Structure 1
């Protein structure tokens, strides 16, 4: 009789003073990404410390935890975990150990099945409608600047190739090479706009210098050392320049000398004529050289 009484007393003590753990899962079948809730309640903790996994670390790694809240009173420990799963299949919440004072309590395990509720052929709608965005110059530049830079680089390469084909392929010992050099110098003279400014003295000083340098390099005349009258006589004696070209050069030298010493004031038309005549002479001068070379070999 005493044993029965003692057993009943112990049973009642456990019921009134022991801790009671309960757990609850809101759903055991979920769609992909569907929220669910897992609850743990422990009663009669009588102010004891409750030790469990930290927040958002109680459930396995497949579970995407949305929130993990804990409430504790002297006699109640409550924990609510909201979660989602983004993979299809079956997932387990294992039995979880929770320590209350010196006692370890364990939850029951759960199994969750996650399915993809989308059906083949379902229409998927955007969350937001597409918006029309107006782009300015800065935005277009950011979008296409690399294409513009690449196009400019290609144009630059093509220009270099053209220049090489036009100028670089001419041998330095060819008559055309010296003609090309002089034509560039004439273009530079033209760019200074001496004719437009009516600066006849500067114009003829540079024009005569270019002419003398050309005759020295192209025909090997001592053009830099001889005076104009002596140079014209020397050209005739050498017979390297055609008579027609001699008639072009003579007025240029004579007018140039008079203009340099301000003995005459050439007109704009005369300056234009002298410039164009010299340019044409330089362009065709290689023909005189080729004719002279041919005559030497005959």
Structure 2
């Protein structure tokens, strides 16, 4: 995002004069003893007007307990000034907040008087529970809790690894037991296990037919030595007919037809989304069981085996072992990963319940502003007259002269700009210094207006402006502007609410400026801003 400099101090547009009158309002006309009435005075003036609000300690019978800073809202070419006072009274009764005097360009205006009522507060000590003084809470040490998260993660991973090796050892024994069963025993056991899964009752018909036909194909492959798992239905039926002739197996046409019918039914269920009725599913299961038993009985007890058949038999056995090992390995991995995920979710849920989601998100997932705040800060001097500040990152020099109009460049002798981030980032810091060619009486309030106009050109909208004096730790006086705004992202066309602070100082023919901007409500960014402002030091301008 191309940055424009924050100095249009001499090119401000003329303001539109507003009607100079004072609006008076109060948040409530009835309150309890000692409670705060918030009185609001509002006026609309032009940019050059000087407004003086009263600084009295009492408004009539009510005491001023808080004089709030003036809120400034830009409206077209004018400014709406909002001044609030906190008033209170410690005796019950009815009172009148009198009219107060406001000076606008040395002309006197008066607010409206308002009647208020202060009521007694009933206190019943007999019904109030009394509590002991709480014990002193020990302060946390400076080590932090990071090691606890590392330890918890190591324990969770160790538990996952333990589960993986336990399941591996257990399943290895199970594989050794199952691989060397006779094909008919294995098929019968798998059929029984299939019924126990209750896939049909759960509506998982496709999965049921897939496992049913896999049991039949596995049996045929192991018992008759036909590559059934890799064959289509037509190829498998033809291979069975060929094998029955070659191995002199006594098979009726009905047995082969029943097998073919179930296999084709399974193909329709798996690929054509066919939905057989319940009695058809039961019949297909019975047909498969009957086919397997018939095939087992039809296999001759003594089958001549040539050397090629023996090698094929051994290859099939090894293939089955590897297939089973692969399935069980995947299952072990799934169980171990699932266990780790479960423990992580359980741990996260525990911390969310005890610490809150924001704590978990910021400390486990991460937060950009938190990382800046807790990272290694840099203290450096920028520009001339020099501005010394401490920031989370080093500010980079930018060429600001290219963005200024020719009329403005004619007034400037030297200008430097240093920036970290941009206005649409999580955190943005900019330091600028300017020296002018001719003697110029710099008005910091005007300079603040110029900076805000530049921010508007770069996407700032609905800017709320508050202004007050600012003093560095060395006693140098300046002006601080602060408030909120909406920032338009030119890429996404979305708007984000942001908080900003602008510091302005003048020295001889020099102007020093610091701008900080971040997302509103970011507590870590607020801490960063406070630390930066507390670190500000200024150097005298050099010729």
Query: With structure 2 as the length reference, what TM-score do the two structures score?
Result: 0.21
The structure whose Rg is larger is 1
Task: Write 1 or 2 for the structure with the bigger share of helix.
Answer: 1
Question: Looking at both structures, which has the greater relative contact order when contacts are Cα pairs under 8 Å and sequence separation is at least 6?
Answer: 2
